[in-house]
Amino acid sequence: MVAPPENAPPDNDVLWARSLHYAHDGAPALVDVSLGVRQGEILALTGPRGSGKTTLLRCLSGQLRPAEGEVWFNSVPVHTMGDLSRERLRRDRFGWIGPEPQLLPELKAWENAALPLLLSGTSHRTAKHAACEWLDRLDIGALARKRPAALTRAECQRVALARSLVTVPSVIYADEPTAPLHRADRALLLRTLTTAARSHEITVLLATDDEDTAAVADRRLALVDGRLAGTGAVAPLPDTPEGQAACSLSA
């Protein structure tokens, strides 16, 4: 069911949420969180461990259904979708990368990277070509036929990033993707992610407690104890007036 026009999100927000509440075993994890994100924007969600960053990403991506509030993607209400519809949305339009690569040990690197395409019915040849292209961009094309056990932790994380990018999704949810990486590996992963976002107009929500990682974002929001603590524009979008927020926000 689509909400009446006066309750619908702004047309220029690809992702929009209003008054999200969520609790884990009775303990509040999100409290009245509202935000909007434009297409192609890189938004950093910052805050200490346990502040609600992962829970917010999971609600926005349809993995969790908020106890209260609304989540909209391209003016479609995610919060009213059934389980199968939300699963299809995550598969076809969203990408996800977390601090753990979560690769399937029996599959080769290229097969892990190509998995979203293979599951959606893309031909083996096309899926392999797309996966290997992203592995090449991450400087691990030569490892395409290796299985996860033969790769380093940093190499596995690059495969996980290739998997999140292979469908060229509308939105990538990146939950502490650089946490397990050393500085050089972190820089390569962030450079590939941000370059892909800019060139393909992919929206990125980047949860992190690392200042260097957050610095790649256009804008950041801070979460403290499940509440939005403030905003700050790192770099206004081209069509946004100087000093004006890059998307709609109410908390």
pLDDT digits (tens, 9 = 90+) for 52-80: 999 999 999 999 999 999 999 998 999 99
User: Given a cut of 80, is residue 248 above it in pLDDT?
Assistant: no
- Identify the band that residue 8 occupies on the pLDDT scale cut at 50, 70 and 90: low
- Identify the band that residue 13 occupies on the pLDDT scale cut at 50, 70 and 90: confident
Tens digit of each residue's pLDDT (9 = 90 or more) over 97-136: 999 999 999 999 999 999 999 998 999 999 999 999 999 9
Tens digit of each residue's pLDDT (9 = 90 or more) over 92-103: 899 999 999 999
Output the pLDDT for position 50: 87
Tens digit of each residue's pLDDT (9 = 90 or more) over 220-243: 999 999 999 854 444 344 444 333
DSSP secondary structure letters along 63-108: SS--SEEEEEETTEEGGG--HHHHHHHHHHHEEEE-SS----TTS-
Output the pLDDT for position 109: 98
Over residues 1-24, the mean pLDDT reads 73
68-73 sheet: strands from edge to edge? 27-37, 15-24, 68-73, 76-77
Residue 39's Cβ-side half-sphere holds a number of Cα atoms within 13 Å equal to 13
- Identify the band that residue 25 occupies on the pLDDT scale cut at 50, 70 and 90: confident
157-171, 191-205, 226-240: which range is least confident on average? 226-240
Give yes or no for a contact between 14 and 76, defined as CB atoms under 8 angstroms apart.
no
Give yes or no for a contact between 120 and 91, defined as CB atoms under 8 angstroms apart.
yes
User: Given a cut of 90, is residue 251 above it in pLDDT?
Assistant: no
Give yes or no for a contact between 162 and 194, defined as CB atoms under 8 angstroms apart.
no
More confident residue, 221 or 250: 221
Output the pLDDT for position 11: 67
User: Given a cut of 70, is residue 249 above it in pLDDT?
Assistant: no
Output the pLDDT for position 229: 85
What 3-state class would DSSP assign to 15? strand
Give yes or no for a contact between 55 and 22, defined as CB atoms under 8 angstroms apart.
yes
The full 3-state SS of 167-204, as one line of letters, equals CCCCEEEEECCCCCCCHHHHHHHHHHHHHHHHHHCCEE
Helix (H) and strand (E) counts for the chain?
7, 10
Mean pLDDT over the full length of the chain: 87
Q: The whole model's pTM is what?
A: 0.85
User: Given a cut of 80, is residue 188 above it in pLDDT?
Assistant: yes
